[in-house]
Amino acid sequence: MGYHYVNTDLLDDQLDVANPEALLYEPESNGRLKLVAVEYVIPADAWHHDYAPELFGQKLVLNSFNLWALHVWAWENNPSGIYKSWNPRVNCDNAA
């Protein structure tokens, strides 16, 4: 999935399209990081509703980290779909 850089100040019960909680980068062979996606996140403990949060008409998915999350693969095509959690084209093979 690449490296996740999370702005922990944004981890609350709100989503803001212009301010995603996480940026996802894939390490390249030249040592640089390539921006591949953003992730919108709400900690499960902060969400006090009996339904999943939604953004862009998509329901966020509760993951194994106890976070509601929605990936948006805006800079790396995801053959599984732009909002899917995993992108088979992104990896950390070039991680140092």
Per residue in 51-71, pLDDT (tens digit) is 999 999 999 999 999 999 999
- In the prediction, which pLDDT does 76 show? 96
The structural domain count of the chain equals: 1
In a domain, 90, yes or no: no
First to last CA, the chain: 15
Is the pLDDT at 7 greater than 90, yes or no? yes
For position 19, what pLDDT does the model report?
98
Q: Is residue 96 predicted with pLDDT exceeding 90?
A: no
Question: Residues 41-49: what's their mean pLDDT?
Answer: 98
**What is the reported pLDDT for 2?**
86
Classify residue 96: in a domain, yes or no.
Answer: no
94 occurs within a structural domain: no
Is the distance from CB of 21 to CB of 9 less than 8 angstroms? no
Q: Is 53 part of a structural domain of the chain?
A: yes
Query: Which residue range forms the structural domain that includes residue 59?
Result: 3-72
Whether 66 is covered by a domain: the verdict is: yes
Residue 78 lies in a domain: no
Residue 67 lies in a domain: yes
